[in-house]
Amino acid sequence: MCSGRVDLEFVLRAFSNGMDGVFIGGCRLNECNYDTQGNYDALNMVLLSKKIMEHIGLNPERLRIEFISSGEGNLFAEVMSDFGKKVKELGPLGKGEGIDQVELTSKLQEIRKLVPYIKLAKRDKLAMRLGKQEEYDTLFTRDEIDSLFNEVVSYYIDPGKCQACTICAQRCPVDAIISAKKQIHVVDQEKCIKCGNCFEACPSKFGAVTKISGEPVPPPLPEGERAIG
């Protein structure tokens, strides 16, 4: 499998399942077997993952990516041995960082829910092909990631503007919009992946979907009060 297919969700799921370290191996850069250069995608994803790990208090050295030729068996063995020693030094996940297990589990669950939003917000950088190592060192900054999570976008349907046209519900890829005929629609914030499809789909003459950043979402209209007169 191409290393470019290793998703951010895979890494976070591994840590959620209690893995103390995650290793990703790929072809050498500019020597892609599939001519897709997916190893650059993997590299960018790992750099983003490391910053997210720092954000929640995990040591980023628990995640490692290496680009090795299939003919370099000795090098692969050395790399894996070195990584195994490093993970052992770091200790069990969370415990080595002094993070309560319940707190860590909660943080990882919250981050995993935001993966579609993170990938959408950082899609331009995730697709970059940089030429110098120093450029990759600053591809994602700590302040940038802190801002990303402090200003998470949410979507809310204004009850005073919704005309129950169901267009937003039809465009939602995860059925996060509660809709019914002649009923004001409501965004289920637990299901919402913050893709923005509802915001783009809502007819401009209604303008019922509101984009909210860094602020709490208003409570949904009670079910018994959603009928449109």
What average pLDDT does the chain have? 93
Tell me: pLDDT of 74 over 90: yes
pLDDT band at 30 (very low <50, low <70, confident <90, very high): confident
Q: Containing domain of residue 174, as a range?
A: 153-225
Tell me: pLDDT of 41 over 90: yes
The whole-number pLDDT of residue 70 equals: 81
Token pair recorded at residue 88: 């052992």
**CA end-to-end distance (rounded Å), the chain:** 55
CATH code assigned at 207: 3.30.70.20
- Domain limit, last residue, from 150, 183, 211: 150
Question: Can you tell me the mean pLDDT for 13-20?
Answer: 96
- Domain limit, last residue, from 95, 123, 150: 150
Are 145 and 161 contained in the same domain? no
The whole-number pLDDT of residue 86 equals: 97
Tell me: pLDDT of 33 over 90: no
The whole-number pLDDT of residue 229 equals: 73
The whole-number pLDDT of residue 132 equals: 82
Tell me: pLDDT of 31 over 90: no
Tell me, rounded to whole angstroms, the distance of Cα 139 from its chain centroid.
16
Q: pLDDT tens digits, residue range 188-197?
A: 999 999 999 9
Are 131 and 168 contained in the same domain? no
Return the DSSP state at 20. Answer: S
Are 78 and 118 contained in the same domain? yes
What is the torsion angle, in degrees rounded to the nearest 10, for the CA atoms of residue 162, residue 168, residue 170 and residue 175?
Answer: -100
Are 104 and 124 contained in the same domain? yes
Nearest to 108 by CA among 192, 25, 49, 24: 49
Are 189 and 102 contained in the same domain? no
Are 100 and 207 contained in the same domain? no
